[in-house]
Structure 1
């Protein structure tokens, strides 16, 4: 069983999960994962507007794609956060009959994060489970972490994300094509992503848009204002008829930078036609 929050299911997480899968196959065990929801910062630091690289539904999709046999999603609340590390092991390791635990080198658990990878290894000596600890994964001498990737996205440097996640940053959103837009022949439509996803800095982004059966390239206009919804354009969007609501997946390829303010203004107007 792999333990972790796994926001983004980035390359560091993937290394840990693949190791867990290999151990499970070798020992003829189920490949299981335990994760938590919501983020501990949401509960402990009361950061109620916490944004995710992969909200829970998308994280579940990513874990399923890796081949997880069974997933435990533990509700992270104050009661869970206050568990003694020894009680965590009793309930969630021994209680689930886990035979082999796999964690990252910096994994912590239990009251005030007193439980560590070293503590797990120590406890395994007198209990019927083994522990494997995955070392730090780096790129350009930087630790691959969800915190770092969130900063990269927030800064608008979405072209760097594949070096840390193994693929482009993507979100799911709902596009609504209103009759007003249809009459105006407007090619850009508003996109609603809810309040769970982290989103890149304001600007214009080259994106890949996918719905159930089509994929195309387009533009994502990020306003970053509570008074104006973000907009998206592309062939799929242009095909929507008035009143249609459709979920799309948006893959961010790169931010489009303009050489001068006047070029930015003229190009932005062209984008918005």
Structure 2
């Protein structure tokens, strides 16, 4: 997959053939996104077009909130990995800026997509809106786009069984965020089509887990969505920095998400302990390595214990529960 970064005012991209794109933010790359992407891929191949994705960075929600929000389901590298798995040939990342924000819908379609990016087919969900003040819709833009040689194709949004009392609910990143935030992890994983994961570079902490006999690989939750604080059954993979591919089989693990109140923690981290690390033939030193931690099951809320000894006793109990869960899988 070729990654192209483009901003308003840049020269046209150097894609050697006309392109069909799916457009959106694709946070999560969930089942609904996959439906849209697969539809675009099929039509691209049928029409001898390149298959691409147009997305935005920063996420518009970040742009309007001055990069001060923590809501993302995936980091950039994991989104790229998921899109590449689907078969995206070109990932075009448009910088979301004041200039882009002020483009009219017609300017966005004509000046940017058609003239600059060589797009001749655009696939989007029925609710996709674009252009200044989000005035552009699929329906009111079809006549103009056809006149300039850009075909817009609407893809029906993927739906699931009722989540809120309605007959059907559209699968969206927002609905998945709501499920995760409210502790409904298994349902969220179903709508994602895979287990939700947190990824990043392992940082060196205070090594208190090692002192307790349970060394952990620590990731800063940063701009990730925050699920309920507590202990989760998880599994972990190590990722190669250069290829973005995993380098080992899944390792059974257990994780704590939160502020570690027993040891007066401040930052929100996910601390992951690989169960029986020495039996998996993997280098135990994970510092500065990129890892992926998938969340499988919530075990208990985060608790402030009266002592480190009480904390250690509870960790033993939690780890035994996680071992049992993994043994049944």
Q: TM-score range by the shorter chain?
A: 0.7 to 0.9
| Equivalent residue number for residue 233 of structure 1 | 273
- 1:31 paired with 2:66, answer no
Q: Trace 1:174-253 onto structure 2 (pairs within 5 A).
A: 174-176=201-203, 184=211, 186-211=213-238, 212-224=247-259, 227=266, 229-235=269-275, 244-253=287-296
Compared CA separation, residues 243 and 88, structure 1 to 2 (3 A): closer
- For residues 93 and 149 of structure 2, the distance between their equivalents in structure 1, rounded to whole angstroms, comes to 23
Superposition map of 1:39-188 within 5 A: 39-46=59-66, 48-95=68-115, 96-140=117-161, 141-176=168-203, 184=211, 186-188=213-215
CA distance in 1, matches of 2:259, 2:211: 24
State the SS of the aligned residue for 1:50.
coil
Following superposition, the deviation at residue 271 of structure 1 comes to 3.8
Q: Secondary structure at the match of 2:186?
A: helix
Contact 1:208 1:215 in 2 (8 A): yes
Equivalent residues of 2:72, 2:223 under 8 A apart: yes
TM-score (norm. length: structure 2): 0.73
How far the C-alpha of 1:246 sits from its partner, in A, is: 2.9
In 2, Cα distance between the equivalents of 1:240 and 1:182?
18
Q: 1:181 to 1:67 in 2, by over 3 A?
A: same
**How high is the TM-score relative to the length of structure 1?**
0.87
Question: Contact 1:162–1:168 at 8 Å: present in 2 too?
Answer: yes
Q: Alpha carbon RMSD of aligned pairs, Å?
A: 3.0
Shift of 1:87: 0.9
Superposed displacement of residue 118, structure 1? 0.9
Unpaired stretches in structure 2, ≥5 consecutive residues: 1-20, 162-167, 239-246, 321-329
How far did residue 138 of structure 1 move? 1.2
Structure 1 residues 237 and 155: alpha-carbon distance in aligned structure 2, compared to 1, 3 A threshold: farther
Structure 1 unpaired stretches of 5+: none
Q: Per-residue displacement from partner, 1:119-145 (whole Å, max 9, x unpaired)?
A: 232223312121210112211122100
Structure-2 separation of matches of 1:138 and 1:183: 45
**Matches of 1:243 and 1:16, distance apart in 2:** 37
Q: Alpha-carbon deviation of 1:24?
A: 0.4
